[in-house]
Amino acid sequence: MNNCTQPLPQDPDAAFTTVARVTHVDVHLLERWLTGWSLARGLPPPRHHGGGLVVDVGWPDQLRRHVFVDAGCALRECAAQIHAPCVYLKAAVDPDRLRLALPAHWQIEAARYLMLHRTTMGAPGALPAGYFASIGAHYGASVIRVVDAAGQAAAIGRVVVHGTTAVFDRIETFAPHQRQGLGSALMAALDALAQQGGVSERLLVATEAGRALYLALGWRVLAPYSTAVLATR
């Protein structure tokens, strides 16, 4: 049954006080982010659908992802039409707001954060002693891989440049190599690639763990970014 006429509580994200309200996010910014996300995975670009955006992912564990600016009527109408698992709903709201917007059988995942950086992050510094980086490409992304002296993977990150936007994606420093400055060095090296494309906007979605690093590098949180999916039966 469509419950779009039932308003949500007045301030369901009151507990999310450390994150900026959704005042800088519109569907066009989400489309730029989602376009980069899709290019990095060799997927079709997002298309406008039902008041939001949709990507036809086609993976066994993720058939589609629908992305909305908020958890309003469009998202709830979309959810009401989904009855199979592996279709994801995402919105630039905190998890509590998304939880209130959806029936109980939707699972809400851990909070993430949509972040922005407008200017360069400075020249890449040298990697710590004993680490080596290589640059490659995968689908539409430039990929930097960092290995240790034994050739074991230490860190990896991707950046996609489209138009004047750079999307930073799947930045990871592996557990044995954390807290040695690899994350900062990797981000600066990826940003140097983005600068070659003449970008004026840098976007990423961060985990809770990654948010602190990006804030220290001058990024700012635009909005929480939350995910819901139907539990597999």
pLDDT in tens, 104-122: 999 999 999 999 999 998 8
Quick check: 185 pLDDT over 90?
A: yes
What confidence score (pLDDT) does residue 22 get? Answer: 42
pTM of the model: 0.91
Tell me the average pLDDT across 185-202.
96
Whole-angstrom distance, CA of residue 155 vs CA of residue 178: 9
Torsion angles phi and psi, residue 159, rounded to 5? -140, 135
Angle value at C-alpha 71, between 36 and 99, nearest 5 degrees: 110
Whole-angstrom distance, CA of residue 174 vs CA of residue 30: 28
Helix, strand, coil percentages in the chain from 3-state DSSP, rounded to 5? 25, 35, 40
Tell me the average pLDDT across 6-21.
46
Res. 132 pLDDT band, cuts 50 70 90? very high
What confidence score (pLDDT) does residue 125 get? Answer: 81
CB-count exposure of residue 144 (10 Å: 0-12, 13-18, 19+): buried
pLDDT tens digits, one per residue of 43-57: 999 999 999 999 999
**What would the two tokens of residue 135 be?**
């640059």
What confidence score (pLDDT) does residue 5 get? Answer: 55
Tell me the average pLDDT across 73-78.
98
What confidence score (pLDDT) does residue 233 get? Answer: 59
What confidence score (pLDDT) does residue 3 get? Answer: 53
Quick check: 23 pLDDT over 60?
A: no
Tell me the average pLDDT across 205-216.
95
